Structure 1
Amino acid sequence: MESLAPVAYLTLAIAVIGGYLLGSIPFGLIATRLGGAGDIRKIGSGNIGATNVLRSGRKDLAAITLLGDGGKGAVAVGLAHLLSHGNPLVVALAGGAAFAGHIFPVWLKFNGGKGVATFYGVLLAAAWPVGLLAAATWLAMAALFRISSLAALTAAALAAPFALATDRPYPILGLCLFMAVLIYIRHKDNIARLLKGEEPKIGNKKTAEAPPPEA
């Protein structure tokens, strides 16, 4: 495990708190409201992520959400890298904090998104080979099955093996495992629908459904 001795605790606190606050910015909710699409929490699954924004029929807002949710994770990691001179433990903690901020944003009563875009943003900034492999996994699974959740779950499950295969530091391996566990927890309803063969495919427009209580 990377030692914290050369890193000031103030720097660590700034990286973690700053990462969480960056991660908690709800780009999907902001984009749909400013874009005139209403409250994304009342559309489709009720989730604030890019996949559900796409169900509103607004590809432009979905793209903005995707870039925003991924970008905030990358920015959090990048700033932590600069503050700590590349200390892997601080970078991993900041990335994990940004990811947790997206899923549990204080501004939305700790009820946020499922974390997939932020997962990729964090990985690409913290360990780009792992991020690229995870992104390639998502693309391959999405092309084969056209089910976003299945692609995300597969990529999340393989992130830690990718980190081992590319000889990433242990804090990055821990970050991959932490994000994968939360992604699986947040996708529990998707997993249930996958097992029943009822999970909607990419591009389906679902505007009439009320959001589930846990969305």
Structure 2
Amino acid sequence: MDDLATAAAITIGLAVVVGYLLGSIPFGLVLTRLAGLGDIRTIGSGNIGATNVLRTGNKPLALATLLLDSGKGAIAVGLAWWVAGVPLAAMAGGAAFLGHCFPVWLKFNGGKGVATFLGTLTAIAWPAGLACCATWAVIAGIFRISSLAALVAAALGPVYAAYLAGQDQAVMAGFCAVLIFIRHRANIERLLAGTEPRIGAGKK
């Protein structure tokens, strides 16, 4: 039993560490530097995510950032799921999301996590993930405010996961949702003040 417990602890530890390291890869920063656009952290909101990359005017680069930020969470989930199923996948997915928000390579100052959240949730519970993506698209289409769409999708993520998947997926989605709200503190203040800019204009 002790050997089994030790093996389980090692497996969990590895899944969390690998998930965190995958999530901490700052694709937005890497891609913009490779493209000769400088440090994305000096542009717009200073965020390393796809929305801020879009402010460079390079739409393909922004799309690549979106896909890679989504994909790294999905890869973390997929690897852990292959090893030991949904519970471990949920831990790895949460760790990947944490890595994106607080990457060790950038002194723990990373992105806001929306793309990684959507990719991670879609990988571990695709109906819930697609429901969140649809929610983001609808809210963004109506109000043209990216942060509002992200917050609504994040808030509904645990609900979708609870009804469409299971407890492990819902807990992971809830963990991510809390961090998304924390990372969007300034956006929430601007939303309440009515000063949050719309998509395509100003600082996110």
Task: Please state which band the TM-score falls in when normalised by the shorter chain.
Answer: over 0.9
Query: In 2, Cα distance between the equivalents of 1:93 and 1:63?
Result: 27
Query: In 2, Cα distance between the equivalents of 1:203 and 1:14?
Result: 41
More RCO (CA 8 Å, sep 6+) = 1
Equivalences for residues 168-179 of structure 1 within 5 A: 168-179=165-176
Compute the displacement of 1:205 (Å). 5.8
Q: Indicate the residue corresponding to 1:112 in structure 2.
A: 110
Compute the displacement of 1:169 (Å). 2.3
- Does 1:196 pair with 2:199? no
Amino acid at match of 2:38: G
Contact 1:56/1:205 (CA < 8 Å) preserved in 2?
no
Amino acid at match of 1:154: V
Quote the RMSD (CA, aligned, Å): 1.7
Contact 1:21/1:98 (CA < 8 Å) preserved in 2?
yes
Q: Indicate the residue corresponding to 1:42 in structure 2.
A: 42
Contact 2:100/2:113 (CA < 8 Å) preserved in 1?
yes
Q: Indicate the residue corresponding to 2:156 in structure 1.
A: 158
- Within the candidate set 89, 93, 99, 1:91 is matched to 89
Contact 1:29/1:48 (CA < 8 Å) preserved in 2?
yes
Higher helix share: 2
Contact 2:162/2:169 (CA < 8 Å) preserved in 1?
no
- The number of residue pairs the alignment matches comes to 201
Contact 2:19/2:76 (CA < 8 Å) preserved in 1?
yes
Contact 2:74/2:123 (CA < 8 Å) preserved in 1?
yes
TM-score, normalization: structure 2?
A: 0.94
Q: Percent identity between the aligned chains?
A: 63
Mean CA deviation greater in 9-18 or 66-75:
9-18
Query: In 1, Cα distance between the equivalents of 2:57 and 2:201?
Result: 9
Q: Indicate the residue corresponding to 2:11 in structure 1.
A: 11
